[in-house]
Chain A
Amino acid sequence: MSHGNMNLTLKVWRQKNTKATGKLETYKVTDISPDMSFLEMFDVLNEQLINKGEEPIAFDHDCREGICGMCSMYINGRAHGPKSAITTCQLHMRSFKDGDTIVVEPWRAAAFPVIKDLTVDRSAFDRIISKGGFISVNTGNAQDANCLPIPKPDADAAFEAAACIGCGACVATCKNSSAMLFVSAKISQLALLPQGQVERTSRAKNMVAQMDEEGFGNCTNTGACEVECPKGISLENIARMNREFFMANIKE
């Protein structure tokens, strides 16, 4: 099967399971097409490994259209690879050159233990959301949707914060493995909307407490998370979270 004309050297992190120690292994792939996505290049590599009787590389991926947040991969020192504002599945091989060496590592954070190879456990994010990333409205409680006019700028700002896909690139790229961009995006979305006002105080406190408990690092405002975020979530959200949290602590 010939695809294209790129030949690449890959150094990929292999780790049997959470407890095992891992290391970088070197692989060669040939005839790669520039139209392939990065993950399709991994499909080719895996097919090659299976045919050789070796174990394919485990990596997370699902929608392959940049929205589910499942794919990860830390590529040549950058979360989701060399291009900004995209996920790994949207990264195409035309962003690389023939003969390149590409180092692929899993997201690294104590709060994201490696499950196998490039697959990590991001359930910490779910636990943070379950502490307050919601509006407590049971099904059937709602009034007519237009009873609550929301100024377009507020709705747009909330939407921008809500665009977070929970991929964890912010944690992966932060030198401190801090999850503040993720947490602040949810806190911001709900703080900006009138629906979110009732639980504003408890939300900020509880979500931050859970974030700390999960063992994420602290924010030192390097701004790397904003740059690497595939959805362009802004640092403004972190500042807003800080305000929300301080106000919450002043109030209660």
Chain B
Amino acid sequence: MSTTSGKFLQSSLGKKLLMGLTGLFLVSFLIVHVSINACIYFNDGGATFNAAAHFMAHNPVIRVVEIGLFIGLILHAVQALMLTMQNNKARPVKYAVPAGNVSSKWYSRSMGILGSLLLLFLVVHLANFWVPTKQAVFNDMEHDTFAGLKEVFSKWYFVGVYMVGVISLGYHLLHGFQSAFQSLGLNHKKYTPMIKSFGFWFSIIITLLFASMPITMFLGLIK
């Protein structure tokens, strides 16, 4: 059994499945994340937001899911790295005239780059928020995440970095969302167009929501 499942995960289609599953799992996290962040729009000095953040930092179920999230993220990234290396090996001599955008979208061909940007962004992002929160939890202190938010987004270069990260995320999702369903073998004349259009709007809305936060805070619209 272990050898067959090992084989399965080593196969090209097994890897695809894993990429799709972990991708969708990460997408589900994004929904939670954006919902919590959106609490800043209560514009109540961060009270609602901090309450939600506190819940997220202390709820034992969330803590367990968090571990799963990291595993998912690592799997997704490591797998992607391995696939990319394999794909590069599959074409040792490149074309003099590369394929243009006639047959495929640029972002669908750039998932590796977009993903790498996202990963870099994540390092900054975790350093900005996750690390201080964890330190506080570890030291059993209350942490004002909202204050942290204001602090970080008062600096133009952080806002810039976040914009790059969020846009990368948007394009990553634009291809990744519907692609995951295809990888899972879910392609249907009737439902695939729905999935595609849902994925399209989902990517745009998530991107706009995430992007609006640093901007509104930088502009001082959130008190």
Contact between A and B in the complex (any CB pair below 8 Å): yes
Specify which chain A residues have a CB less than 8 angstroms from the CB of B17 in the assembled complex. Answer: 242, 246
A108 touches B95 (CB 8 A): yes
Whole-angstrom distance between the alpha carbons of A109 and B185 in the complex? 25
A67 within 8 A of B: no
B103 touches A110 (CB 8 A): no
Interface string of A235-248 (1 = CB under 8 A from B): 11011111111100
Which among B91, B92, B94 has the greatest number of chain A C-beta atoms within 10 A?
Answer: B91
Tell me the chain B residues, 85-143 only, with Cβ under 8 Å from chain A.
86-87, 89-100, 102-105, 108-109, 111
Q: Nearest Cβ distance between residue A122 and chain B, in whole angstroms?
A: 14
Partner of A105, one of B5, B96, B179: B96
Interface string of B138-176 (1 = CB under 8 A from A): 000000000000000000000000000000000000010
Interface magnitude class on chain A: 35 or more
Tell me the chain A residues, 192-247 only, with Cβ under 8 Å from chain B.
208-209, 211-212, 215-224, 227-228, 235-236, 238-246
A223 touches B104 (CB 8 A): yes
B103 touches A78 (CB 8 A): yes
Specify which chain B residues have a CB less than 8 angstroms from the CB of A212 in the assembled complex. Answer: 11-12
Residue of B nearest to A252 (CB): B4
Q: Nearest Cβ distance between residue A8 and chain B, in whole angstroms?
A: 15
Specify which chain A residues have a CB less than 8 angstroms from the CB of B12 in the assembled complex. Answer: 178, 180, 208, 211-212, 216, 218-219
A175 touches B8 (CB 8 A): no
B185 touches A215 (CB 8 A): no
Partner of B99, one of A11, A78, A216, A221: A78
A220 touches B185 (CB 8 A): no
Partner of B90, one of A217, A223, A235: A217
Q: Nearest Cβ distance between residue A73 and chain B, in whole angstroms?
A: 12
A176 within 8 A of B: yes
A241 touches B13 (CB 8 A): yes
Whole-angstrom distance between the alpha carbons of A173 and B100 in the complex? 10
Given contacts A221-B108, A221-B179, contact A240 B187 (CB under 8 A): yes
Given contacts A223-B104, A223-B108, A235-B187, contact A178 B96 (CB under 8 A): no
A177 touches B13 (CB 8 A): no
B54 within 8 A of A: no
B217 within 8 A of A: no
Q: Nearest Cβ distance between residue B99 and chain A, in whole angstroms?
A: 5
Q: Nearest Cβ distance between residue B98 and chain A, in whole angstroms?
A: 6
Whole-angstrom distance between the alpha carbons of A221 and B83 in the complex? 13
A215 touches B90 (CB 8 A): yes
Q: Nearest Cβ distance between residue A84 and chain B, in whole angstroms?
A: 9
A123 within 8 A of B: no
Specify which chain A residues have a CB less than 8 angstroms from the CB of B48 in the assembled complex. Answer: none
Specify which chain B residues have a CB less than 8 angstroms from the CB of A221 in the assembled complex. Answer: 108, 175, 178-179, 182-183
Residue of B nearest to A229 (CB): B103
Whole-angstrom distance between the alpha carbons of A208 and B15 in the complex? 12
Q: Nearest Cβ distance between residue B8 and chain A, in whole angstroms?
A: 5
A216 touches B13 (CB 8 A): no
B108 touches A222 (CB 8 A): yes
Partner of B95, one of A105, A217, A245: A105
B13 touches A208 (CB 8 A): yes
The 5 closest A-B pairs by CB, nearest first: A239-B187, A217-B90, A243-B185, A242-B185, A176-B87
Q: Which A residues form the contact surface with B (CB < 8 A)?
A: 11, 13, 24, 74, 76-78, 103, 105, 108-111, 173, 175-178, 180, 208-209, 211-212, 215-224, 227-228, 235-236, 238-246, 249, 252
Q: Which B residues form the contact surface with A (CB < 8 A)?
A: 4-5, 8, 11-17, 83, 86-87, 89-100, 102-105, 108-109, 111, 175, 178-179, 182-187, 189
